[in-house]
Amino acid sequence: AGAELDPDLTNNTSTVTPLPENIAPAVALVKKVSNTGSGLKGVFLLGDEIEYSFIITNTGNLTLNNLTLTDLMLSPTPISVPGTLAPGASVTVKRTYVIKQSDVANGKVINTATVTAKDPIGGTVTDKSGSEVTNDNATLTELEAAFKIPNVITPNGDGKNDVFYIDGLAAYPENNLII
């Protein structure tokens, strides 16, 4: 048995879902560091994990779906964000990054991410991460400077190399210096 046809076409009704008068799909991405490092005053050190919070906000007037987050520093492939995002709603995604020696040599970790989503009429919206919804400033995490160990000491009162001081050592409170 197949589907039966309705012989009375006068009693059929359809549902129309109106779209807003000014269709304006939009999305915003804010990327923030949500933890502290293991160094003095929370400074990040080699091997520490930086936890990033990605706050995705629907700043438009249409529900968004098929959300993907792309941050090539954290993942070579886009990160799928499940569900839909109603106008005005936000969702937070957290990911971590381990600080490498090259980051310490640079003295900072700096990067951006992007979010992409689809609107119900087939359009694509995207945004580059920022420190606030209204900007696209890259996320910057300062790292503790590498050690600077003097290779000479000349305590002759001329103001050059008169004291032995290891710059950056204070970030390692468990240190034990033996000379």
pLDDT tens-digit readout, 69-118:
999 999 999 999 999 999 999 999 999 999 998 898 888 999 999 999 99
pLDDT given at position 147: 64
pLDDT given at position 104: 86
pLDDT given at position 173: 64
CA distances for 5 relative to 8, 9, 29, angstroms: 9, 10, 49
| CA dihedral sign of residues 19, 20, 24, 25 | negative
